[in-house]
Structure 1
Amino acid sequence: MKSRLHAHVGTIRQLEILLSVHDKGSIKEAAKALFLTQPTVSIQMKKLAEAMGAPLYNYTNRQILFTDIGLELVKTAVEVLDSFTRLDMAIGNIKGFKSGTLRLAVVTTSKYFIPHLLGPFLEKYPDIDIQLNIGNRQQTIERLKQGIDDFYVFSHPPSDIETQSIEFLTNPLVAIAHEDHPIAKKQNLTLKDLSKEPFIMREKGSGTRYAIEEFLKHHNTKLNVKMTIESNEAIKHLVMSKLGISILSAHTLMYGGQSGLVRLPIKELPINAHWFFVWSKSKRQTLLAAEFLDHIETNGRSLLQKEMISNDILSR
């Protein structure tokens, strides 16, 4: 007997609203992203829950937590909307041009270079849409598990999920301080010198923190962590305010500005990490996604490598 569940899962628009609520984590932010009122989003989510006969999410400490049924519906919504994307692209290709939507989920530090990668691609295919989600490592892993996006950018891809990936770019992690900080005046610095200073660390779940912790384990060293911050920009401003030193990706300095900051010549640094483009083995790749993958392996990679060389991040 054929399932009649499709008669209850709601309209396409409701599925779009569902995904926005899931991705944004709140009714307010979903409404803002969709240019709808909060009551409209709430009503549509209520109708969808009634159609499913079960709650799609609950509120815990003012946060939306999706139920198992809600998460299954999110997966289905991704598949349904993705089928329309493929249809749009197929029609576009028949007409002789590329169209459709490219979905990317990237960890926060990679947000500095991703726009430089997308720019030339959008110039080549001006009729496509880009959906870019920026989160920490754990948030991006959750999206990967649910197969929401075409590609994911990590410095340390998860090893417990069936994926394919390409190593895309070097990601050197460097020590930084304010140019007037006493340590900035010293030469021949070592990790031991770094461990004596107040240190500002990224939050748990971030790729930068993961890389630093693995590096410290290898060198059997501990840092004098005084603050834990969820933002690269906030860390840079704290360092500029002479409240401590930190280790960040060189990309945060290259693209995000470094007024008043200097890179410390620590003997054991940089931490030589890499950026990876990752995609799910179980998700069928669209024509647009395949085109973008070719772009990042050729023009995109060479473009960013040249920029890194010109900024003395890579050797010539």
Structure 2
Amino acid sequence: MKNVTLRQLRVFVAAARHMHFGKAAQELHLTPPAVSMHIRELEQQVGLPLFERHGKSVSLTLTAEYLLVYARRVLSTLKDAEDALARFRGLQSGRLTIGMVSSAKYFMPRLLAMFREEHPHIELRVVVANREQLAEQLQGSELDLAIMGRPPRELATRGEPFAAHPLGVVCAPDHPLMRGERKPASALAQFGFVIREAGSGTRSAMEEYLREWRVDPRIDQELASNETIKQMVMSGMGVSFLSLHGIGLELRNGLIGVPDIEGLPLVRSWQVVHTSSKVLSPSAEALRYFVLENGEAYLAREFGGLHPMPAEPVSASSAQAAAAERLRRAARQTPPAPPARPAKPAAPSRRAGSAGRG
């Protein structure tokens, strides 16, 4: 394999992650034929097939599963070397890969845009996946930083809370849960739920709440898309349990309701996470510091002042207004036992210098 190139390994790892040449091409800014060519050349070097083709999708051969372990290790070592050398160059440029759970996509892109205003020469690549998938990518050193609710327990990671993260039950504005006063948790047992897939942080938080309050609701559907779940909920096809940071637009416009349920909202924390063994590059340190310093204030400003439109009947409107007030309160809460904020960078200005590890 002495003639294998790094480009071939990058294409192979991307294709193995997506199990789809077209999606790998989009990630790498290549054409699908170019991806196929690199895979074919790598298979010639290995002397064995790496993928089994099934129409547009593919699956790994046993040979590919073994090769994938070493390919990730090679690319991870190269990235560590790049980050270490970047510390000598300073914070003039860099390339970062940021992973985020799907609930974070409703606020992180704007935070990243604010960061780019201060550091225009840093290239940002975003990966949206569930908590389990992000853990795998952290383990493979495919991510510089990840934004999630809780760091993966199976990895040695450093997670730093930067803002409160409220989660709760959501339903249609005219749903029975929106009528009247505060409902006991046991009231949820009579309604069908549309929930996130196994492996997501939202699903884990929901299961934790249901166990604590000894509720066994009926599960009607399991979906991997927050947007699809919201559409199902708004159309009256069930209730769900979601991040309240993901329903700001719908709540503002009276399209979705947050009923007053015993024990809710469940307040967790948003955290910026990286593996403990990873030496962060100056650009990754700068982004980490930026999120820790600005994330809480941004979320409180963006989600702390929701004023939903009136809804019928009046009781539902009152409950919706109360839900908005609970969301405002949750947005202002401080996550439990956060560590001390990092020390400010030694450089004279955040615009020109790198952030300290804190």
TM-score of the two chains, using structure 2 as the length reference: 0.78
Distance 1:107 1:202 in 2: 12
Distance 1:142 1:255 in 2: 31
Query: Match of 1:69?
Result: 67
Distance 2:199 2:257 in 1: 26
Aligned ranges 1:1-316 → 2 under 5 Å: 7-10=2-5, 12-53=6-47, 55-58=49-52, 62-65=57-60, 66-81=64-79, 83-84=81-82, 87=85, 90-91=88-89, 93=90, 98-254=92-248, 259=253, 260-311=255-306, 312=325, 313-315=327-329
Q: 2:101–2:130: 8 Å Cα contact kept in structure 1?
A: yes
SS at match of 1:195: helix
1:198-246 deviation digits (Å, cap 9, x = unpaired)? 2111111111111111111122211121111111111110111111111
CA distance 1:286–1:74, shift in 2 (3 Å): same
Aligned length: 306
Q: 1:137–1:206: 8 Å Cα contact kept in structure 2?
A: yes
SS at match of 1:103: strand
Distance 1:310 1:86 in 2: 43
Q: CA deviation at 1:255?
A: 5.4
Distance 2:79 2:47 in 1: 22
CA distance 1:183–1:299, shift in 2 (3 Å): closer
CA distance 1:120–1:44, shift in 2 (3 Å): same
Distance 2:238 2:120 in 1: 44
Q: CA deviation at 1:53?
A: 4.6
Q: 2:197–2:222: 8 Å Cα contact kept in structure 1?
A: yes
Q: Aligned AA for 1:68?
A: Y
Q: Aligned AA for 1:76?
A: V
Distance 1:20 1:301 in 2: 33
Q: Report the structure, 1 or 2, having the larger strand content.
A: 1
Q: CA deviation at 1:43?
A: 1.9
TM-score of the two chains, using structure 1 as the length reference: 0.87
Q: Aligned AA for 2:295?
A: G
Percent identity over paired residues? 28
SS at match of 2:162: strand
Q: 2:83–2:280: 8 Å Cα contact kept in structure 1?
A: no
CA RMSD of aligned residues (A): 2.4
CA distance 1:59–1:80, shift in 2 (3 Å): farther
SS at match of 1:228: strand
1:76-97 deviation digits (Å, cap 9, x = unpaired)? 1233255446656744x3xxx6
SS at match of 1:160: coil
Q: Aligned AA for 2:265?
A: P
Distance 2:192 2:86 in 1: 54
1:23-81 deviation digits (Å, cap 9, x = unpaired)? 43311111233343323211211222333455545568944345122232123123325
Q: 2:164–2:296: 8 Å Cα contact kept in structure 1?
A: no
Distance 2:147 2:192 in 1: 30
Q: 2:15–2:21: 8 Å Cα contact kept in structure 1?
A: yes
CA distance 1:39–1:136, shift in 2 (3 Å): same
Q: 2:13–2:71: 8 Å Cα contact kept in structure 1?
A: no
SS at match of 1:310: coil
